[in-house]
Structure 1
């Protein structure tokens, strides 16, 4: 009997999936009954690949063949930028003014540790660590509402004293290929398991090549979030996460697939949450960007300045937000990374204050403690 990659990894393991749907308190009323979804792409999305610059000589110099892969068949937008060819649905949203890239954005932590940077994104403070997250504190400010995390365990961003719930969708359609690459090295040393593992991987790769389901786990998670948030007693804010964005090698191939999954996730949310789409803002972030230049394995290493994407009917899209610093050697951070020109907390504060009507005082002091000096990014939300 031939085992699929997934069956091979799961063989002999007992698993129990929780299928009961969470219950939520009645959402607090607000002028617009708005919804907010934060999507964290764990691993460090290369914003220069997702949002290339086709006519920028510095971009072409730094990126070489990796840049050419991003530019080919890309979707041109304003400001000399383009959306990666895999972001076809996002380009439609951009044309409808419901998609907004934010360039050169990063959390206040500007080092290159995945875990510390993710902690900083989630806790909403100046640095890593902490025991509770800013989205949980936001639930407190909304009053009478609740928060939802589409995750297997409660993430830091949703931990705290306010009412929050987790729900985990079924297992992903396929095992993360980056994980598979690491496991392949381990299994290759085993005379029995090595050949079986290689055979399982080849079988599943063949299925994908023949047109298997390429939507991925993120589409399921986003569809579930839209389903729960569309209910009359659904949560007003939700958190979704995705892994596999750490692209030290073979970046073009990995991001072609991962960006397609992100695109499918946005489409899945709009399809399942069409009724709330006009009142929804989705904020897609990552913990840091990547190096401006390509490394020796056709990938990029940990950087600083990154990109964020806002999507939804409530978003003031159809343009590029943020301050672009340039890619000349003298304009790079430490002559290696895109310079971060905006604090991610300022972007979040702009969404909370304009979209969820969280007061500036609460945003400055409680949701993002001691952030009075962090400039609020204005104009992100339509009619704000």
Structure 2
């Protein structure tokens, strides 16, 4: 045991890979739950409040242009139906839409209201609670509670990798956390030593090899985000590999969605990362994509009106993106509240029409057979799931 602990301590110090916390699959908080069955669920937390009104633009609403005179002139969107259009930075996802493998829910939100704090909003999203967040539940996430309700989850239920733990993963179900340091320049000799240690450690072998490969190619960034392009794709590929094995549930986060200034440019890198991750999941999973559901959700939306800096500020109603081979996609799920002055929440935000928790709740029922009563009582306390949105074929 002492030898194993010393080895883990060495890994903690030595895997300070010279790249940022979100620059590679190994340094991005990731949860993987191993379960029987063939259905897979991937939850992506979009940190920073994605502007659903820009990503899924309601071009059919007559009030949109007056609220966003500059933003509606930028980045000509791609028509999805006769009312909504997709941001062109997600053009690579259009084949999924046409194949019925992508959908979205407009005007949805957690029950968090009015304070519009990223930290509190993300806590509500990841804790999955209603109303005021009780202190006792601040370290109890709904994805962990889901795993705890599944009857045949393995003992090593989930693990997270990264410097920061994700609240959505915290709770009673088993989870392993590995937190590397930062800013260590690895010599060739140390790289060989760590490679040897990884090969003899079944828990870290694959993740370690990926980490060493990414440091060898210099994938570090300055702003703490996953850089656009290959690294977000690498993250998706890494998750896909785990889901092709015994993992059935995965979660990670993508940052960069806080667009107070020059949103037409500032939003592009985050959208590129999201697209890269989803397409890499689809490609990496191959035929298993047909049994996989991806849910990308954010803590809240943004203001209906653009601000003086041609950006948007913290709002309320947002959007949920869904993808997957078994999805009943190619559609907007739910209604539309309108953007007239009388329709806005607090006179400034998109009015939420649904509790965002209902959609992962129905996914739990349909993917894993969890009873509605168990979901409403043990996973999402205080939730009334309502009628099924018929997410799947």
The TM-score bracket by the shorter chain reads 0.7 to 0.9
Change (3 A) 1:24 1:368: closer
CA contact (8 A) 1:173 1:216 kept: no
Segment drifting more, 53-62 vs 93-102 = 53-62
Task: Work out the CA distance in 2 between the residues paired with 1:142 and 1:223.
Answer: 26
**What are the ranges of 5 or more consecutive residues in structure 2 without an aligned counterpart?**
1-12, 18-24, 179-206
Report 1 or 2 for greater relative contact order, CA contacts < 8 Å, sequence distance ≥ 6: 2
2:53 to 48, 54, 70: 48
Change (3 A) 1:25 1:245: closer
Structure 1 residue 379 displacement after superposition: 0.8
Establish whether residue 105 from structure 1 lines up as the match of residue 71 from structure 2. Answer: no
Contact 1:123 1:156 in 2 (8 A): yes
Q: Deviations over 1:276-324 (max 9, x none)?
A: 2000000000000000001111110000000010001021101110221
Equivalent position SS for 1:105 = strand
1:176 Cα deviation (Å)?
Answer: 6.1
Partner residue, 2:237: 223
Match of 1:309 in 2: 321
1:138 to 146, 149, 161: 146
For 1:59, the equivalent position in structure 2 comes to 64
Looking at structure 1, the residues matched to 158 and 15 of structure 2 have their Cα atoms a distance apart, in angstroms, of 26
1:350 Cα deviation after fit: 1.3
Q: CA deviation at 1:151?
A: 4.3
**In structure 2, C-alpha distance between the alignment counterparts of 1:353 and 1:59, rounded to whole Å:** 36
Asked whether 1:115 is paired with 2:161, we answer no
Q: Indicate conservation of the 8 Å contact 1:150/1:238, yes or no.
A: no
Cα distance between partner residues in 1 of 2:328 and 2:297: 17
Could you report, residue by residue, the CA deviation over 1:198-257 in whole angstroms, capped at 9, with x for unpaired residues?
Answer: xxxxxxxxxxxxxxx8316433322211111111xx221111101111111111101122
TM-score w.r.t. structure 1 length?
0.79
CA offset digits 1:114-173 (Å, max 9, x no partner): 111100111111143522111011111223332354644331111112123457765794
- Contact 1:174 1:216 (8 Å CA) reproduced: no
Aligned mates of 1:239, 1:98 — CA distance in 2: 19
1:47 and 1:289 in contact (8 A); partners too: yes
CA distance in 2, matches of 1:274, 1:166: 29
Paired residues of 2:33 and 2:147 also in contact (CA < 8 A) = no
In structure 1, stretches of 5+ residues that fail to align are 1-12, 181-212
**Paired position in structure 1 for 2:221:** 175
Question: TM-score when scaled to structure 2?
Answer: 0.77
Distance (Å, rounded) in 2 between the aligned partners of 1:90 and 1:54: 19
SS at match of 1:369: coil
Match of 1:195 in 2: none
SS in 2 for 1:38: strand
Report the alpha carbon displacement of residue 15 of structure 1 after superposing the two structures with TM.
5.5
Please give the alpha-carbon distance, in whole angstroms, between the structure 2 residues aligned to 1:216 and 1:59: 35
Question: 1:78: Cα distance to partner?
Answer: 2.0
Question: Which residue does the alignment assign to 1:94?
Answer: 97
Match of 1:78 among 39, 59, 81: 81
Corresponding residue SS for 1:274: helix
Residue 33 of structure 2 contacts residue 250 of structure 2 at CA under 8 Å; is this kept in 1? no
Judging changes above 3 Å, is the alpha-carbon distance between structure 1 residues 15 and 237 closer, same or farther for their aligned structure 2 residues? closer
User: Which secondary structure does the structure 2 equivalent of 1:276 belong to?
Assistant: helix
Partner Cα separation in structure 1 for residue 316 and residue 238 of structure 2: 32
Q: Distance in 2 between matches of 1:99 and 1:81?
A: 14
Residue 376 of structure 1: how far off its partner (Å): 5.1
Please report how far the alpha carbon of residue 61 of structure 1 lies from its aligned counterpart in structure 2 after TM superposition.
Answer: 1.0
Aligned to 2:345: 333
